């Protein structure tokens, strides 16, 4: 299967080189990048958030391992400091004894007594020489240990700072992931609200019925008003009509007798 895939890939490369010439590799890489981008864009955001959570959780073993390494280095640095302190004490003691022997030899005695035992000048000289060589070796060793201690302590401090930065970055990443998840939930809720269709047909039917009833009642009221106007009622509020005789007299100028004789 692998052999067939390699052969197919080789054929594609040859065809691309044939059709596109020197630009074939550019076309291939550009197409691969676009394909990767398309695949990445089609991955669900929820899946990517969960992947980010997992990557953040995977930092925990790394942090714990670094904590263990730091603890080991702290112990080593403390032991080194303890060895340095002991060596310094020994060097101080050796230095004082060397000074004492040197002072005694400068007096040029035939013999010397230390702790109840007698030593010749050669014995004291040889002992002083051995002590002096050991002192120089211990001084060099102490200098080297101090340099080592300083270097390891600086490295330990730098490692502590890196660990603290990693822990802080992990917490920040976890907070940002949860913030992104909350924003995604808000977006999903907004999308769901936009897709939701509220069935208000029953409300519309009720409103239509109320409108129809209102129109019918208005028609009934107008009809009732017209029926009331159709009755001959006495206009109580209007003054009564003048007497017909008064109207005639007024028209004839009061000559009612002449009109009557003509008849």
pLDDT tens for each residue of 162-192: 999 999 999 998 999 898 888 888 887 877 7
Query: What is the structure's pLDDT at 31?
Result: 56
Q: Domain end: 192, 219, 250, which one?
A: 192
Same domain as 175, residue 75? yes
Same domain as 80, residue 38? no
Q: What CATH number should be reported for the domain holding residue 87?
A: 1.10.287.1490
Query: What is the structure's pLDDT at 84?
Result: 96
Residue owning tokens 């995604």? 184
The strand pairing partners of 119, in sequence order, are 112
CA distances from residue 259 to 59, 166, 249 in whole angstroms, order as listed: 134, 134, 10
Same domain as 133, residue 55? yes
Same domain as 8, residue 70? no
Same domain as 168, residue 115? yes
Same domain as 114, residue 6? no
Same domain as 49, residue 33? no
* Coil vs helix vs strand at 241: coil
Q: How many domains does the chain have?
A: 2
Q: Does 100 fall in a domain?
A: yes
Distance, in Å, from the CA atom of 99 to the CA atom of 111, rounded to the nearest integer, reads 18
- 112 lies in which domain range? 44-192
Query: What is the structure's pLDDT at 168?
Result: 93
Query: What is the structure's pLDDT at 258?
Result: 45
Average pLDDT, the chain: 78
Distance, in Å, from the CA atom of 101 to the CA atom of 34, rounded to the nearest integer, reads 85
Query: What is the structure's pLDDT at 259?
Result: 47
Query: What is the structure's pLDDT at 263?
Result: 45
Same domain as 49, residue 179? yes
Same domain as 71, residue 86? yes
Q: Would the pLDDT of 54 be above 70?
A: yes
- The overall longest dimension of the chain from CA atoms, in Å, is 206
Query: What is the structure's pLDDT at 44?
Result: 85
Query: What is the structure's pLDDT at 261?
Result: 45
The pTM of the whole model exceeds 0.85:
no
Query: What is the structure's pLDDT at 92?
Result: 95
Q: Does 115 fall in a domain?
A: yes
Same domain as 125, residue 83? yes
pLDDT tens for each residue of 122-145: 999 999 999 999 999 999 999 999
């Amino acid at each position: 299967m692998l052999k067939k895939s390699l052969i197919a890939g080789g054929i594609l490369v040859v065809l691309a080189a044939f059709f596109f010439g020197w630009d074939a590799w550019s076309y291939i890489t550009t197409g691969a990048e676009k394909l990767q981008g398309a695949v990445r864009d089609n991955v669900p955001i929820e899946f990517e958030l969960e992947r980010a959570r997992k990557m953040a959780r995977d930092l925990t073993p790394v942090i714990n391992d670094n904590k263990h390494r730091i603890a080991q280095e702290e112990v080593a640095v403390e032991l080194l400091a303890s060895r340095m302190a002991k060596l310094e004490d020994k060097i101080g003691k050796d230095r004082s004894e060397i000074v004492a022997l040197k002072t005694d030899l400068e007096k040029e005695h035939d013999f010397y007594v230390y702790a109840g035992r007698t030593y010749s000048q050669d014995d004291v000289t040889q002992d002083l020489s051995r002590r002096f060589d050991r002192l120089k070796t211990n001084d060099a060793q102490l200098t080297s240990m101090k340099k080592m201690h300083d270097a390891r302590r600086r490295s330990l401090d730098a490692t502590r700072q890196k660990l603290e930065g990693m822990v802080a970055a992990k917490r920040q990443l976890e907070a940002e992931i949860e913030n992104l998840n909350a924003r995604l939930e808000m977006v999903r809720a907004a999308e769901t609200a936009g897709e939701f269709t509220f069935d208000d047909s029953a409300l519309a039917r009720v409103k239509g019925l109320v409108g129809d009833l209102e129109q019918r009642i208005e028609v009934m009221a107008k009809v009732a008003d017209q029926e009331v106007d159709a009755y001959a009622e006495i206009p109580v509020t209007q003054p009564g009509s003048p007497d017909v005789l008064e109207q005639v007299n007024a028209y004839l100028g009061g000559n009612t007798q002449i009109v009557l004789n003509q008849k």
